Amino acid sequence: MAEEKQIGDRLTNLTPTWEIANEYNQENLPSPIKDNQIFWLLLIEELEYRVNDADSSFNWDAHGWVGGDYRRLWLKTDGEVNTEDGEGDAEVQLLYSQLVWSFWEWQAGVRYDRTFGSESDGRAFAVFGLQGLAPYFFEVDAALFVSEDGDISARLSVEYELLLTQRLVLQPEFEVNVAAQEVEEFEIGTGFNDIELEMRLRYEFSRRFAPYIGISWERKFAGTADFAREEGESVDEVKFVGGFRFMF
């Protein structure tokens, strides 16, 4: 009987399960996983010198973003400056990005183009795009542009990174531009404007710095090619490139 009484006393002194559960409220729980942190990236993918028998130029292509895993603010820019006459063009995009499914995000924002040299002009666009990683690790960037005058154009770029070694990377890239209307002041014709194929071989001293060499081929079509011929420009050209890639 004494032993049974001791067991009964122990059971009586036990804290009820619901009282133990109530102790684990939000204040007593450890901090949750930090999945709302803000990150950022700046990638200067191309900072290069291009040359062939006819002319040479300095080119750049860079992008950066700030945000979390689901929403980001993007900045993209690319451009070209001719080393002989100083003429060139530049493009800047500011975009809001939202993850829609794994590895893919839709983007919307604004774009501004500027030509400079003997004749300077600029125009703005609304941008609607989709960017992500396709099967077999192809990086895809597709965008639709509507200018301030209602002109519609689109661009598709695809690139791939082939690791020859842990540091040596071969990067092919394809880009095509199309337009629904002719824009004479920017030498853009209706239909397919141009395609560009590029191949770069870089050596990564680290993930943050890599020199590279490569080759670029560009072909203009239809009305865009006609505008180029009127200006005495080539419609089919190959250039050798050399430059640096930086990541911050």
Residue 114: which CATH number? 2.40.160.40
Q: Classify residue 12: in a domain, yes or no.
A: no
Does a structural domain hold residue 107? yes
| Cβ partners under 8 Å of residue 170, min gap 6 | 161, 162, 164, 199, 200, 201
Predicted pLDDT at 132: 97
Please count the other Cβ atoms lying within 10 Å of the Cβ belonging to residue 87.
15
What SS3 class is residue 228?
Answer: helix
Between the alpha carbon of residue 200 and those of residues 70, 94, 130, the distances in Å are: 31, 27, 25
Query: What is the token pair recorded at 156?
Result: 């598709």
Kindly state whether residue 26 falls inside one of the protein's structural domains.
no
> 202 by DSSP, 3-state: which?
strand
CB 116 within 8 A of CB 122: no
Q: Assess if residue 32 is contained within a domain.
A: no
Nearest to 106 by CA among 72, 76, 148, 67: 72
pLDDT in tens, the chain (248 residues): 555 555 555 545 555 555 555 555 555 556 666 667 899 999 999 999 999 988 899 999 999 999 999 999 999 999 999 998 888 999 999 999 999 999 999 999 999 999 887 778 899 999 999 999 999 999 999 999 999 999 999 999 999 999 999 999 999 999 999 999 999 888 899 999 999 999 999 999 999 999 999 999 999 998 999 988 988 888 999 999 999 999 99
| Residue (of 151, 235, 157) closest to 194 by Cα position | 235
Q: Is residue 44 part of a domain?
A: yes
Domain that holds residue 87: 40-247
Q: Check if the beta carbon of residue 82 is closer than 8 Å to that of residue 59.
A: no
Residue 164 lies in a domain: yes
In eight-state DSSP terms, residue 11 is H
Alpha-carbon span 96 to 22, nearest angstrom: 43
Does a structural domain hold residue 7?
Answer: no
Domain count of the fold of the chain: 1
Please check whether residue 4 lies inside any domain of the structure. no
List of residues 6+ apart from 207 with CB closer than 8 A: 247
